Copies of this chain bind each other. A is one copy, B any other.
């Protein structure tokens, strides 16, 4: 497991809580949206498509920040900052299915836009927490 994550906070990345992902738009304004994610101990992975705003944002500026809190205990949160390391094609939507199951749908099917699906791989460089 990553030594960057402060003691006691890894739970927020392991439990299936939604994260809020920030990216920077080409006009230098900020975008935040709730996202499914998977923490693999080293990177954070998201399902996305090549047709959406966040993908275009990340082409211009690779900075990413993910904030996660437990809705039952909102005072405590972690923010993970990093950047886009890699974009992996996912044309069968397999990773979307992995995330759908992680977030509570055992019968998750691949999405209709599978051909455009990609996995965004984010580095873990800094954290903030409370």
Contact = CB atoms under 8 A, between A and B. Distances in A.
B31 A28 contact: no
A89 interface: no
B29 A69 contact: no
A47 interface: no
Interface residues of A, number: 28
Contacts of A49: none
A22 to B, nearest CB: 4
Given A20-B20, A22-B22, A24-B24, A29 B65 contact: yes
A120 interface: no
A32 B74 contact: no
8 contacts: A20-B22, A29-B63, A30-B64, A31-B79, A31-B81, A32-B32, A32-B79, A71-B71
Interface of A: 18, 20-24, 28-34, 61, 63-67, 69, 71, 74, 77, 79, 81, 83, 103, 128
